[in-house]
């Protein structure tokens, strides 16, 4: 790292990478809400952003405020505008990675083309591309990771202290988007240790700590947003206890290192395929060659990258959800830098060849991102995806006026939240998530949103969530039509469920009088 020169290409290559990446993302961008690429949460996030609410833990205040800004851009639907935020963030992350690669690659005439190819390899990786075309928090996570990496490298190469102060502020703001960015923290001292006399000073660390806290204070948005009782108000974090419940993601803590032992080998196999798919297997081979090269030339940076990415990978691996692999985006970014180092190494070996063959080798290397582009286009392309929109339309057209609609899964819940609260379709409906009735804050929210709905508070300790749902449907069935999008198996003892035509919704009919115990 020390002694490496800043990139010679200036802003031109980075802007080219950003523009090309953005163009590809826009061509493949989802036109609205989507269930693809594990994007069901986009309905929750888009609704919370547009209404300045609180989405599911950890609240993601940095993302929500940025998405709110994008949601007012006069183009397309609100969901499309939120998707656009992801495309811009992912393209900017690729552009910043180009700048970082220029700074790290050995000084030679072909450095900037190789840096651009490195960045495009990341831009067209299957993981980043999948998140660049939907409304999710992970493209912004990639942008913060790329921005922090660039600031750290530039400071280490002789930049002013303001770069570290900016990094501290952005680190706090980045944690307001996704807490997995915290895995960067233990790696930073490793990267900067040779310059410890420059940064181990109160005059630098004091302002940096203050700016970090200032960035982290973005979480103050959560209680402020909750105070105006938006339609999406997860956890209602107005008290310290509820604030911590949201910010720490306590609802999801059972998933942390919750992967069952019998699923470890299955996940190892799927993750191995995932790793090979990022740049294509040929790209992975080049990246691994670059890692081996960095062991001799950039040992400290390699240690920094491993300290950041390996604990992150372990956390993501044992996190017991199907989409936890998306947390690996910063690690994929670092692996892309390995691809650039591998390209340098291959070109170094090609120096023994004739000039014509050297040029052919360089051209082949620079064209590899286009191979990745072709490889991943079909899987990434959501430009014609309207399944979520069609789902909401079918449900809303099928139910009678002033109905109670009980939902269970994230897809149904978030898609209908978006349709009702953002697009103002069927404001006469009461949309209630059955499993969430287990939370006191959610029952309070339902009473606030739908004051004419009867929702009994449980009086016995052994009342289950199914009991609450059955009571809700039974006591309201005499006052208004009741529907369920995906009835629970245990509900059939008390109700008949009649599908409404071919729509994915069922009319609820009480089998017999049910006297609730509270």
User: 78 with 170, same domain?
Assistant: yes
CA distance 279 to 418: 35
User: 248 with 220, same domain?
Assistant: yes
User: 189 with 237, same domain?
Assistant: yes
Task: Judge residue 259's burial from the number of C-beta atoms within 10 Å of its C-beta, 0-12 exposed, 13-18 middle, 19 or more buried.
Answer: middle
Decide: 139 and 87 in contact? Cβ < 8 Å: yes
Residue 516 belongs to a domain: no
Decide: 276 and 284 in contact? Cβ < 8 Å: yes
Which of the listed residues 345, 362, 380 is the one where a domain comes to its end? 380
Residue 6 belongs to a domain: no
**Three-class secondary structure of residue 310 per DSSP:** helix
Which of the listed residues 350, 380, 410 is the one where a domain comes to its end? 380
Backbone dihedral angles phi then psi of residue 114, each to the nearest 5 degrees: -70, -35
User: 363 with 407, same domain?
Assistant: no
User: 120 with 242, same domain?
Assistant: yes
Decide: 187 and 308 in contact? Cβ < 8 Å: yes
User: 269 with 306, same domain?
Assistant: yes
Residue 147 belongs to a domain: yes
Q: Count structural domains, the chain.
A: 2
Structure tokens at 173: 């703001």
Decide: 129 and 380 in contact? Cβ < 8 Å: yes
Task: Judge residue 375's burial from the number of C-beta atoms within 10 Å of its C-beta, 0-12 exposed, 13-18 middle, 19 or more buried.
Answer: middle
Residue 40 belongs to a domain: yes
Structure tokens at 447: 């009473």
Decide: 321 and 254 in contact? Cβ < 8 Å: no
User: 373 with 391, same domain?
Assistant: no
CA atoms within 13 A on the CB side of 226: 25
Residue 100 belongs to a domain: yes
User: 371 with 466, same domain?
Assistant: no
Angle between helices 355-380 and 329-349 (to 10 degrees): 160
Q: How far is CA 476 from CA 85, 235, 495, 513, 514, in A?
A: 41, 25, 13, 12, 12
Structure tokens at 161: 């202290």
Order of strands across the sheet with 404-407?
Answer: 430-433, 404-407, 482-484, 506-510, 495-499
Q: Where are the alpha helices (DSSP H) in 38-186?
A: 42-50, 61-70, 78-104, 111-123, 126-132, 138-156, 161-175
User: 497 with 437, same domain?
Assistant: yes
Please report the pLDDT score of residue 295 as a whole number.
85
Which of the listed residues 349, 380, 411 is the one where a domain comes to its end? 380
Please report the pLDDT score of residue 275 as a whole number.
95
Looking only at the bridges linking them, the beta strands covering 482-484 and 430-433 are unpaired
Residue-level pLDDT, tens digit, the chain, 518 residues: 333 444 456 799 999 999 999 999 999 999 999 999 999 999 999 999 999 999 999 999 999 999 999 999 999 999 999 999 999 999 999 999 999 999 998 766 578 899 999 999 999 999 999 999 999 999 999 999 999 999 999 999 988 999 999 999 999 999 999 999 999 999 999 999 999 999 999 999 999 999 999 999 999 999 999 999 999 999 999 999 999 999 999 999 999 999 999 999 999 999 999 999 999 999 999 999 999 988 888 899 999 999 999 999 999 999 999 999 999 999 999 999 999 999 988 888 877 777 777 778 788 888 999 999 999 999 999 999 999 999 999 999 999 999 999 999 999 999 999 999 999 999 999 999 999 999 999 999 999 999 999 999 988 888 899 999 999 999 999 999 999 999 988 888 889 999 999 999 999 999 865 544 43
User: 359 with 459, same domain?
Assistant: no
Q: Where are the alpha helices (DSSP H) in 299-454?
A: 299-318, 329-349, 355-380, 387-398, 410-417, 440-449
Distance from CA of residue 295 to its chain's centroid? Answer: 31
User: 467 with 368, same domain?
Assistant: no
User: 362 with 414, same domain?
Assistant: no
Q: What angle do CA 179, 183, 188 make, to 5 degrees?
A: 130
Decide: 2 and 198 in contact? Cβ < 8 Å: no
State which residues form the domain around 84. 11-380
Residue 480 belongs to a domain: yes
Query: Is the bond into 58 cis (omega within 30 degrees of 0)?
Result: yes
CA distance 503 to 392: 10
Residue with tokens 């061509």: 27
Please report the pLDDT score of residue 103 as a whole number.
92
Residue 423 belongs to a domain: yes
Residue 1 belongs to a domain: no
Backbone dihedral angles phi then psi of residue 244, each to the nearest 5 degrees: -65, -35
């Amino acid at each position: 790292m020390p002694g490496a020169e800043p990139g010679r290409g200036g802003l031109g290559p980075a802007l080219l990478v950003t523009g090309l990446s953005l163009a590809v993302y826009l061509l493949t961008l989802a036109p609205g809400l989507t269930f693809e690429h594990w994007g069901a949460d986009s309905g929750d996030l888009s609704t919370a952003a547009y209404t300045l609410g609180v989405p599911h833990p950890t609240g993601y205040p940095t993302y929500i405020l940025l998405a709110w800004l994008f949601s007012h851009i006069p183009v397309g639907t609100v969901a499309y505008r939120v998707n656009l935020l992801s495309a811009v963030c992912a393209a900017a992350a690729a552009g910043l990675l180009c700048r970082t690669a220029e700074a790290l690659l050995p000084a030679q005439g072909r450095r900037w083309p190789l840096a651009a190819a490195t960045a495009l390899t990341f831009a067209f990786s299957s993981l980043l591309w999948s998140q660049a075309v939907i409304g999710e928090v992970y493209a912004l996570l990639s942008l913060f990771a790329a921005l922090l990496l660039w600031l750290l490298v530039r400071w280490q190469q002789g930049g002013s202290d303001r770069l570290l102060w900016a990094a501290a502020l952005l680190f706090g703001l980045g944690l307001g988007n996704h807490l997995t960015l915290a895995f960067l923290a233990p790696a930073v001292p490793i990267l900067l240790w040779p310059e410890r006399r420059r940064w181990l000073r109160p005059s630098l660390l004091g302002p940096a700590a203050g700016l970090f806290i200032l960035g982290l204070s973005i979480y103050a948005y959560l209680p402020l947003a909750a105070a105006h009782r938006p339609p999406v108000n997860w956890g209602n974090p107005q008290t310290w206890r509820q604030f911590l419940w949201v910010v720490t993601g306590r609802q999801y803590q059972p998933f942390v290192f919750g992967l069952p032992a019998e699923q470890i080998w299955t996940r190892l196999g799927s993750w191995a395929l995932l790793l090979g798919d990022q740049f294509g297997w040929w790209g992975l081979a080049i990246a691994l060659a670059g890692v081996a090269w960095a062991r001799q030339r950039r040992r400290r940076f390699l240690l920094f990258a491993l300290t950041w990415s390996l604990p992150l990978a372990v956390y993501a691996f044992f996190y017991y959800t199907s989409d936890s692999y998306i947390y690996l985006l910063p690690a994929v970014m670092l692996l892309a830098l390995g691809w650039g180092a591998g390209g340098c190494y291959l070109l170094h070996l090609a120096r023994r060849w004739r000039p014509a063959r050297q040029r052919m080798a360089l051209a082949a290397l620079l064209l590899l991102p286009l191979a990745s582009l072709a490889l991943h286009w079909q899987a990434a392309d959501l430009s014609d995806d309207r399944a979520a929109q069609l789902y909401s339309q079918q449900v809303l057209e099928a139910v009678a006026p002033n109905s109670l609609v009980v939902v269970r899964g994230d897809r149904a819940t978030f898609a209908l939240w978006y349709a009702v609260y953002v697009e103002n379709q069927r404001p006469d409906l009461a949309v209630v998530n059955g499993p969430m009735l287990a939370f006191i804050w959610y029952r309070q929210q339902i009473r606030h949103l739908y004051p004419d709905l009867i929702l009994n508070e449980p009086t016995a300790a052994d009342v289950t969530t199914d009991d609450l749902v059955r009571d809700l449907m039974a006591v309201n069935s005499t006052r208004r039509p009741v529907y369920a999008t995906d009835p629970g198996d245990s509900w059939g003892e008390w109700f008949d469920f009649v599908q409404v035509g071919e729509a994915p919704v069922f009319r609820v009919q009480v089998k017999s009088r049910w006297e609730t115990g509270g």
